[in-house]
Structure 1
Amino acid sequence: MVVSTVLFGLNVGVSAICVSAILMLISPSRHSKIVDDISWPAVVLVCGMVTYMAVLTQNGTLEMLGDAASRLGSPLLTALILCFAVGLISAFGSSMATLGIALPLAAPLLDAGELGAFGLVVALAFSATVVDVSPFSANGAIVIANADVADRTRFQRKMLGYCAITVAAAPLLAWLLLVVPFSA
């Protein structure tokens, strides 16, 4: 796998799948327990969310939201909306991917000089990562898949309720504590 990625420039994920398939073909009975222990719903969910984030990025939805927010006129209001958008999007996808998209969107706000860079970047990072408990995010799906609970559906509903509270409250809290005090 390392040779294929380094020498031939192949994608690491594709190389890993190919190596796994070869190992399964060579000795299927030896690896059957491993395949049975894979939480396939979590795998499908994570792949779907990664695809969803790629579609949002590719079709320009996130860029359009950033442009619309920057035209509001108030940098503080724009920062608040961006914190909420980052929290909501990250609840359904990857927090790192969301941050990779959100930070360039925040650049025009930071260039204007009315908001503190430290406060806005930390608020965005907090808003994106605190919602990783969502059952629809990569981390949340892994938690649900590996949870040893009697009623998995009830556990998932509780996590979803907690995530809704977190998505509603965390961006506002981050904005109040990190963006407002550091703005000009």
Structure 2
Amino acid sequence: MSPEVIALLVLGAVFLVATVRPVNMGALALVATFIVGTFVYGMSDKEILAGFPGSMFVILVGVTYLFALAMRNGTVDWLVHAATRAVGGRIVLMPFVMFLIPAAITAIGAAAPAACAITIPLALRFARRYEINPLLMSLMVIQGTTAGGFSPIGIYGVIVNGVTDGAGLATNPPLLFAGTFAASSVLGAAAFLLLGGRKLIGRRHESPAKPQAETVGAAVAGGTPAPHHPGTAAATTTTQDADQWAEERPTLDVQRVATLVGLVALIVATLALDLHVGFVALTIGVLLTVAFPATAKAVVDKVAWSTVLLIGGIMTYVAMLEEQGTITWLGRGIVSIGTPLIAALVLLLIGAVVSAFASTTALLGAVIPLATPLLLAGDLNVTAVVVALCVCSSVVDCSPLSTMGALAVANSAEEDRERMFRGLMAWGMSLVLIAPAVLWTSLILPTAS
């Protein structure tokens, strides 16, 4: 059995064991990386650890640390109220606002993780306050982030257009942007319809759902609050609490103003100056801690350490596969398939599967060159295949093992993280199968010569 096959089988075993046993998948993946790297690939410890995603570690720690501070000092509550007032109190509009904000940010050239990291903590706080399904809000942010990324000046768009131009493939950048934006919009609409969005129609912030954040805020999978029976003391109490909260208008104090300045600095530094979002967030968080130590107690405990371990372990294993050429080996095997249409379908599947566990940015730079020999043969429409590859490689970013999905899990309330992880995993893995089939049928098959 070849090393490539062994490594892929071990990866499947990691997912299986972590599913049936209560063990952190990241810890299991790190053990698998050590065993496979040492005894199958003959790698040294230094070579194995070189694949650990230090950048992702800093992003997750920095962002969750900063927004934990912002939640403790009331800044996030103030922002939630401000966002509510901006849409006239129409709760139903907020999921779409959380779709459009990151779409605009990535469309002008921001990195997708930065746009997601800035937006998703606010989206989840809003969901928690108004008992909106947090899975819905997370998916709207993630799909919005993807929707803007393929603009001609977006990072994804620049990568894809540069790679195709270098390979001598004639593509249509505006059509690539339109196609990927449309696909992300359809998925956002599907999430809205399937995950409780219709229940928001007609709701306004003057009469929010009962804010039982610790018990009801819950239903990540279904978005349905726990039932309450009229006439009971509990129902009366929670109604009074809801009315009281509805009348709250958080005000700005020195600490909240300082936090808002820090958040603006985060946006400017990451989007305009292209600085690392994790380092910037951590720097701002530390400065706020030094300035206002009273509200910073136990904030480090709010960092999503289990998520950090999970993502770090899986990404280290995938990095090992990439370093040892296993991913390339898999791609070459696909392109060697005799029938172009079948090869294209398999390539879409590989793009979706790999992107669900690895960097979309890195994958886009690799998967299109793998498809180049297939596209140069002239049997398939180049633009259709490129659009399909880009959509399949990006819509699965909601996987909790991908950067943006990991941010959603990390910024969820502690009691919601397991449900969020499972919800994103189910949604993302469904798209791994559905997206290639739909795009192959609707784009590639009709345009093939």
Q: Which one-letter code corresponds to 2:433 in the other structure?
A: A
Q: Is the 8 A contact 2:353 2:432 kept in 1?
A: yes
Matched, 1:141 2:401: no
- Deviation (angstroms), 1:37: 4.5
Q: Which residue of 2 aligns with 1:66?
A: 331
| Structure 2 counterpart of 1:106, from 366, 371, 375 | 371
**What residue ranges of structure 2 are gaps of 5+ in the alignment?**
1-274
SS in 2 for 1:136: coil
- In the alignment, the residues of structure 1 paired with residue 300 and residue 415 of structure 2 have an alpha-carbon distance, to the nearest angstrom, of 23
Matched, 1:77 2:342: yes
Q: Which residue of 1 aligns with 2:387?
A: 122
Q: Is the 8 A contact 1:135 1:160 kept in 2?
A: yes
- In the alignment, the residues of structure 2 paired with residue 165 and residue 105 of structure 1 have an alpha-carbon distance, to the nearest angstrom, of 24
* Larger Rg belongs to: 2
| Structure 1 counterpart of 2:357, from 70, 92, 109 | 92
- In the alignment, the residues of structure 1 paired with residue 298 and residue 362 of structure 2 have an alpha-carbon distance, to the nearest angstrom, of 32
- In the alignment, the residues of structure 1 paired with residue 425 and residue 301 of structure 2 have an alpha-carbon distance, to the nearest angstrom, of 27
Q: How many residues align?
A: 165
Q: Which residue of 2 aligns with 1:175?
A: 440
User: What does the per-residue CA deviation read over 1:117-157, in whole Å, with 9 as the maximum and x for residues that have no partner?
Assistant: 11111111111111111111111111111124754323322
SS in 2 for 1:147: coil
Q: Is the 8 A contact 1:95 1:132 kept in 2?
A: yes
Report sequence identity in percent. Answer: 36
- In the alignment, the residues of structure 2 paired with residue 121 and residue 75 of structure 1 have an alpha-carbon distance, to the nearest angstrom, of 14
Q: Which residue of 2 aligns with 1:5?
A: none
Aligned Cα RMSD in Å?
2.8
SS in 1 for 2:327: helix
Q: Which residue of 2 aligns with 1:38?
A: 303
- 1:50 to 1:160, Cα distance in 2 relative to 1, 3 A: closer
Q: Which one-letter code corresponds to 2:411 in the other structure?
A: N
- In the alignment, the residues of structure 2 paired with residue 82 and residue 37 of structure 1 have an alpha-carbon distance, to the nearest angstrom, of 40
- Deviation (angstroms), 1:90: 1.1
- In the alignment, the residues of structure 2 paired with residue 182 and residue 66 of structure 1 have an alpha-carbon distance, to the nearest angstrom, of 23
Q: Is the 8 A contact 2:385 2:444 kept in 1?
A: yes
Q: Is the 8 A contact 2:355 2:394 kept in 1?
A: yes
Q: Which one-letter code corresponds to 1:95 in the other structure?
A: T
Q: Which residue of 2 aligns with 1:161?
A: 426
Q: Which one-letter code corresponds to 1:51 in the other structure?
A: T
- 1:140 to 1:124, Cα distance in 2 relative to 1, 3 A: same
Q: Which one-letter code corresponds to 1:85 in the other structure?
A: I
User: What does the per-residue CA deviation read over 1:16-37, in whole Å, with 9 as the maximum and x for residues that have no partner?
Assistant: 59x96xx79xx6x968776454
Q: Is the 8 A contact 2:397 2:404 kept in 1?
A: yes
TM-score when normalising by structure 2: 0.33
Q: Which one-letter code corresponds to 2:374 in the other structure?
A: L
